[in-house]
Amino acid sequence: MYKRQPQGEGGAAADAAPAPERAAVTPGDPVRVRRLEVPGIGAGAPGRRSRARSERGRVVGSTRPAGPVTRLHLPATVLAAAPHQHARGRTGPGLRIVRDDLRQAVLEGREGNLVLFVVDASGSMGARSRMAAVKGAVLSLLLDAYQRRDKVGMITFRGGEAELVLPPTWSVEAAAARLTGLPTGGRTPLAAGLLRAAEVLRVERVRDPRRRPLLVVVTDGRATGARGGDHLGEARRAAALVAATGTSAVVVDCESGPVRLGLASALGTALGAETLRLDELGADALAGTVRAARQVA
């Protein structure tokens, strides 16, 4: 008689054998994706992703110059000088301006970021059509990173470990090649993937401290491993460790089917990250959401 296996929180049998490895599938067609940004104002290398202080861009304010004035903010300078004209003995037209009145224009442009992908390649992601869609989404994000002058890196996790398949680099072509040849199978060591990401980001902060990172975790949120372990708990503790560093993150929820466990969303909460479904990455999907909101308003 069939005996029902005990169910873990991840929805898979707690003592189930790991899924066999499947051959790599070809990525789906890339699409234009919405811009994912690091919040706040950075000061990194020029690019096209996140907001940053810049030598070029639009004027957003003024400040007292710390050194020579390289771009005068004339209205702010006039406003600083105007209250002192009587005290300075002005009697005719024009303003009397002193060094302390000068204001430097503050410019805002865009910076390039480090986009580190953490991709779930375990057995739970192994359905051919599903993995093709996941790879297509990641390829789309890689092409977007190239256009926005980002550095990219990639970690994959499956079986019993997480692997840095591509250290941070400018070569989007190399990242795409690693992605295309990526097989799937085995258990889901989600915690290992997140901890490997934390280590890579720690090293990159030392190498390039001005370049702000964006962590993109592509998963269905499941976490499995050897029998008896609290694998989801380990994953959430690892996520909290990443969140404590202040790293900006996005979780791409790859869960599909009529019954959804919401594990990727819970992971996003632990990371302090925005969670997007796979079908919400496209710029066309975002534009449709905006149009619908405007019609309701």
Burial of 20 (0-12, 13-18, 19+ CB in 10 A): exposed
Which of 119, 116, 151 lies closest to 24, judged by CA?
119
> Distance from CA of residue 272 to its chain's centroid?
12
Residue 47 tokens read as: 């690019």
CA-CA-CA-CA dihedral for 53, 58, 61, 66, to nearest 10? 50
Handedness of CA 133, 135, 138, 140 (dihedral sign): negative
Of residues 279 and 79, more confidently modeled = 79
Transcribe 56-101 into DSSP letters. EEEEEEEE--SSS-SSB-HHHHHHHHGGGTTTTT--SSS----GGG
Q: In the numeric block, which tokens belong to residue 272?
A: 């302090």
Percent above pLDDT 70 for the chain: 85
Instruction: Name the nearest CA neighbour of 264 among 11, 5, 6.
Output: 11
- Position 294 pLDDT exceeds 50: no
Q: What is the mean pLDDT of residues 119-143?
A: 84
Give the pLDDT band (50/70/90) at residue 125: confident
pLDDT in tens, 16-64: 455 556 667 788 788 889 889 999 999 888 898 999 987 777 888 899 9
Mean of pLDDT values over 59-75: 91
Q: DSSP class of residue 6?
A: P
Residues, the chain, total?
Answer: 297
DSSP helix/strand/coil, 268? helix
What SS3 state is found at 175?
helix
Show the tokens assigned to 125.
């992601």
- Tell me, what's the pLDDT at 189? 94
Say what the pLDDT of residue 293 is: 38
Residue 289 has pLDDT above 50, yes or no: no
Per residue in 241-282, pLDDT (tens digit) is 999 999 999 999 988 766 678 999 999 999 999 999 988 888
More confident residue, 229 or 118: 118
Q: Which range has the worst mean pLDDT, 12-21, 74-83, 170-179, 212-221?
A: 12-21
Mean pLDDT of 57-77: 90
Predicted pLDDT at 63 = 92
> Given a cut of 90, is residue 196 above it in pLDDT?
yes
Listed residue (278, 5, 241) closest to 233, CA to CA: 241
- For residue 275, the surrounding DSSP H or E stretch is strand 274-277
Q: What pLDDT shows up at residue 124?
A: 78
Q: Report pLDDT for 274.
A: 93
Handedness of CA 81, 63, 49, 287 (dihedral sign): negative
Alpha-carbon Rg for the chain, nearest whole angstrom, is: 25
Rounded to the nearest integer, the mean pLDDT of the chain is 85
Residue 2 confidence (pLDDT) above 70: no
Residue 26 has what pLDDT? 81
Question: 88 versus 5: which is more confidently predicted?
Answer: 88
pLDDT band at residue 12 using 50, 70 and 90 as cut-offs: very low
